[in-house]
Amino acid sequence: MKRLKNHILPRQLMYMWLTFFFAITLLMCRPQAEKDVLPFKEVKLVGLTNENEVAEDTITLDTVRYNEILQYLVHSDPSEKWPVNSPMPLPGSIVPFNRIIAFYGNLYSKGMGVLGALPEKTMLDKLAKTVDEWNAADSMLHAIPALHYIAVTAQAEPGAGNKYRLRMPFSQIDKVIRMADTIDALVFLDIQPGHSNVEAEIPQLRKYLQMPNVHLGIDPEYAMHGESIPCQKIGTLDAKDINYAATYLADLVKEYNLPPKILIIHRFTKDMMTNYAKVETRPEVQIIINMDGFGSPAHKKDTYQSCIVNQPVQFAGFKLFYRQDRPAMMKPEDVLKLNPKPVYIQYQ
């Protein structure tokens, strides 16, 4: 009898544990009662409005506002090409809710753009004033500042590795990010590949692209092939290169739960970006093709029509040159007459 009791007791315990296990399982899997569900809260954030509210619960995209802005960008006259049919962006997207006003250049060169041409305070003050000018010219899109830094510069000499490009030291990138922080600006890190390629250069900037306020630019003009040397011939990138960059950024957004990234592609000839129709858009990345040509307003408008309007990808950008645009640089009021209106303005 004693042996029988010893045999039965473990089995009873087993039944008790099984009952407890199933009870817990049912409790965990049952639908939550209405009173258990966290209250829904639509949060406004910088990427969607002008208010600096921090998202603590659910972040939502203002789809009504999004579609309203898309119509505004095409002067309420949509065509077969614009607005571009692309996926709805994720909450936290910067464009088209804002217009980015970027100063471009390199800290080692006064000739590559306004970012490196002026002392820091003078440059930042000038950027703030330019942002104010855009906000005065267009109340529909809130203008925000950005520093667009050339982090990989094309070179006329092969250099180490025979790649005809020079990577900037991280200390300089860190300095640009600190400068941007003082005025709550975005940062774009730009790549001029030389004889390297986007697959080799973009991962080098990974630790910066993981930051929520750091985005990416790529310059096909300096993406060389064969024996071509930068500045002796205009380079080119294909849709597959753009898709690699966008996929890389999208993966970072998913892995680190980041707001959508922005990818800038410079362009002033059709050959600079081949197979544009095969560029893939996605909710995690917003692609802006930036009209990068200089000259007279008439010439710039023609280039914009040829390289941006006639070959749409997603959003449009427009570059203004302080020195090369002649007889005079276009004013915000002039640029806003373009169709579509650009959401990214770059000053060099």
Type of residue found at 216 = L
- Please report the pLDDT score of residue 209 as a whole number: 98
Q: Other CB atoms closer than 10 Å to residue 333's CB: what's the count?
A: 11
> Strand pairing of 285-291 and 214-218?
unpaired
**Concatenated DSSP letters for 298-314?**
HHHHHHHIIIIISS--S
3-state secondary structure of 135: helix
Which pair of tokens denotes residue 123? 């440059």
Q: How many helices (H) and strands (E) does the chain have?
A: 10, 11
Element (H, E) at 179: helix 170-182
For residue 207, how many other CB atoms are within 10 A of its CB? 11
What local confidence, expressed as pLDDT, does residue 58 receive? 52
What is the Cα–Cα distance from 306 to 291, expressed in whole angstroms?
10
255: which DSSP letter?
A: H
Query: Domain 63-347, what architecture?
Result: Alpha-Beta Barrel (3.20)
Exposed/middle/buried for residue 167 (C-beta within 10 Å: 0-12, 13-18, 19+): middle
Q: Which residues pair with 233 in a beta bridge?
A: 230
pTM of the model: 0.84
Token output for 132: 């104010």
Contact 177, 208 (CB under 8 A): yes
- What's the rounded Cα separation, in Å, for the pair 342 and 348? 16
pLDDT tens-digit profile, the chain (348 residues): 333 333 333 333 333 333 333 333 322 333 333 222 222 222 233 333 333 333 334 578 999 999 999 999 999 999 999 999 999 999 999 999 999 999 999 999 999 999 999 999 999 999 999 999 999 999 999 999 999 999 999 999 999 889 999 999 999 999 999 999 999 999 999 999 999 999 999 999 999 999 999 999 999 999 999 999 999 999 999 999 999 999 999 999 999 999 999 999 999 999 999 999 999 999 999 999 999 999 999 999 999 999 999 999 999 999 999 999 999 999 999 999 999 999 999 999
